[in-house]
């Protein structure tokens, strides 16, 4: 096979699609894979790698996010119009109008970003232009996947270019991911950009966070055990997950509060997961009866979703060792929506949060309309 070097990645792509897509069009994806490989065959990145590694990584990320086959095919083809001699007619004939429109949309975003950069408009204007350019929100999702791989492979660019791309990612693409409620994507973009702009500060905070994590995990285990026992008595299913605050978020908190990194308390967030909103409130009551809540630190994003989509109960309690512990209580579905936002609309149309997703979609579409 001509793409034998990428056979492992090709199989990984197919496996990711099969695992997360209920009705995959594997023929379409294979056709796009082969076409993109041939179109970019003679092109190299500055690293010396074949250019094809970039659209392939974009497609792998889209598959991992659970996007549909049409979007994944467009991810494989997203640079064909801009960087090869491929025509729109050729793409339409081979892959259909849906894939063509997605590829055209991504190309349009690149053109708008370039023009805006040259005209030195404000980054806020660029964000609005990106949104205004997207008739199909999947275009923005492809662009974010594309941007993450670009941020991961900046090391071969001259320093001024690295810093320009990283700053644009922080000021445009991370807020864009936030608007789409794609928080996991937002945090990844922020940390990749922050690492490029401030490598020493990034490593300092990362090292500190990891050392604090070990200490906090030890004490949070006591909190989890006590809460789990109370929930078990009441017949409430509960699971726990932990996450470090993103390195960029830590830096921003230091700047906003004037505190040193060692003074920041909520490096670690405990996610308390259950099955229904009613259980979330019951767990909150039990948590607050076991551990004293910190005044002014409770927020109810279940009753009033943040940005129309994010749902969770936020609280901070005094843990068993006297340290403050940040806890987020939500259902499993709420956590999935918090991580992936608008992506859930495309990959899981039967989810219970469908009403919220529709409302978010309508809000975004109204935002897209020029004022």
pLDDT in tens, 148-182: 999 999 998 999 999 999 998 998 899 888 888 89
Residue pair 338/310 in contact (Cβ under 8 Å)? The answer is yes
What distance in Å separates the CA atoms of residue 79 and residue 68, rounded to the nearest whole number? 19
Joined tokens for residue 355: 């009403």
What distance in Å separates the CA atoms of residue 64 and residue 9, rounded to the nearest whole number? 13
> Is 68 part of the annotated catalytic residue set?
no
The 3-state DSSP class for residue 312 equals coil
pLDDT, position 129: 62
In this structure, what is the dihedral angle of CA atoms 336, 341, 347, 350, given to the nearest 10 degrees?
Answer: 70
pLDDT, position 126: 62
pLDDT, position 363: 62
pLDDT, position 317: 96
What's the count of helices (H) and strands (E) in the chain, helices before strands?
17, 5
What distance in Å separates the CA atoms of residue 147 and residue 22, rounded to the nearest whole number? 27
Parts of the chain with a pLDDT under 70: 1-4, 116-134, 308, 348-371
Among residues 9, 25, 83, 230, the one annotated as catalytic is: 83
pLDDT, position 48: 79
Count Cβ atoms within 10 A of the Cβ of residue 210 and give its class: 0-12 exposed, 13-18 middle, 19 or more buried: exposed
Residue 345: which of 122, 67, 135, 96 has the closest Cα? 67
pLDDT, position 116: 67
pLDDT, position 285: 98
pLDDT, position 166: 95
pLDDT, position 370: 45
For the chain, the residue count is 371
Bridge partners of residue 182, in order along the sequence: none
pLDDT, position 310: 86
Angle at 122 between CA 258 and CA 253, to 5 degrees: 15
DSSP element (H, E) containing 118: helix 88-119
pLDDT in tens, 46-85: 887 889 999 999 999 999 999 999 999 999 999 999 999 9
Please count the other Cβ atoms lying within 10 Å of the Cβ belonging to residue 117. 13
Go through the domains of the chain in sequence order and give each one's CATH number. Answer: 4-197 (1.10.3210.10), 199-338 (3.30.460.10)
What distance in Å separates the CA atoms of residue 95 and residue 281, rounded to the nearest whole number? 49
Residue pair 331/276 in contact (Cβ under 8 Å)? The answer is yes
Joined tokens for residue 244: 């470090």
Residue pair 319/219 in contact (Cβ under 8 Å)? The answer is yes
Among residues 82, 125, 306, 362, the one annotated as catalytic is: 82
Task: Provide the greatest CA pair distance for the chain.
Answer: 66
> What is the per-residue burial (b if ≥16 Cβ within 10 Å, else e) of 37-74?
bebbeeeeeeeeebbbbbbbbbbbbbbebbbbbbbbbb
Using left for φ > 0, alpha for ψ between -120 and 50, and beta otherwise, residue 258 falls in: left
What distance in Å separates the CA atoms of residue 231 and residue 249, rounded to the nearest whole number? 32
C-alpha distances (whole Å) from 304 to each of 177, 226, 356, 362 are 20, 29, 11, 17
> Is 25 part of the annotated catalytic residue set?
no
Q: What is the pTM of this model?
A: 0.88
């Amino acid at each position: 096979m001509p793409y034998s070097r990428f056979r492992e990645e090709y199989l990984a792509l197919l496996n990711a699609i099969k695992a997360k897509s209920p009705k995959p069009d594997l023929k379409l994806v294979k056709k796009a894979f082969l076409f993109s490989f041939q179109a970019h065959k003679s092109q190299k990145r500055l690293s010396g790698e074949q250019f094809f590694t970039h659209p392939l990584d974009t497609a792998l990320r889209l598959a991992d996010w659970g996007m549909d086959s049409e979007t994944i095919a467009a991810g494989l083809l997203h640079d064909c119009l801009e960087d090869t001699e491929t025509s729109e007619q050729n793409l339409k004939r081979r892959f259909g109008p849906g894939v063509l429109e997605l590829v055209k949309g991504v190309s349009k975003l690149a053109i708008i970003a370039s023009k805006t950069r040259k005209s030195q408009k404000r980054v806020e204007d660029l964000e609005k232009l990106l949104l205004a350019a997207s008739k199909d929100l999947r275009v923005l999702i492809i662009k974010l996947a594309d941007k993450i791989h670009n941020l991961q492979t900046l090391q071969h660019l001259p320093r001024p270019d690295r810093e320009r791309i990283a700053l644009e990612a922080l000021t445009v693409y991370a807020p864009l991911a936030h608007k789409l409620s794609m928080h996991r994507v937002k945090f990844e973009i922020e940390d990749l950009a922050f690492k490029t702009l401030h490598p020493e500060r990034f490593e300092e905070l990362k090292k500190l966070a990891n050392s604090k994590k070990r200490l906090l995990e030890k004490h949070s285990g006591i909190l989890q055990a006590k809460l789990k026992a109370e929930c078990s008595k009441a017949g409430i299913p509960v699971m726990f997950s932990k996450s470090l605050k993103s390195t960029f978020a830590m830096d921003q908190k230091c700047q906003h509060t004037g505190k040193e990194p060692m003074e920041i308390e909520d490096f670690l967030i405990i996610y308390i997961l259950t099955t229904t909103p009613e259980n979330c409130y019951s767990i909150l009551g039990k948590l607050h009866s076991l551990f004293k809540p910190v005044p002014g630190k409770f927020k109810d994003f279940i009753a009033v979703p943040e940005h129309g989509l994010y749902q969770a109960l936020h609280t901070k309690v005094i843990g068993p060792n006297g340290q403050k512990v940040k806890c987020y209580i939500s259902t499993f579905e709420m956590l999935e929506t918090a991580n992936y936002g608008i992506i859930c609309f495309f990959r899981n149309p039967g989810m219970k949060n469908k009403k919220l997703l529709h409302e978010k979609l309508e809000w975004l579409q109204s935002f897209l309309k020029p004022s």
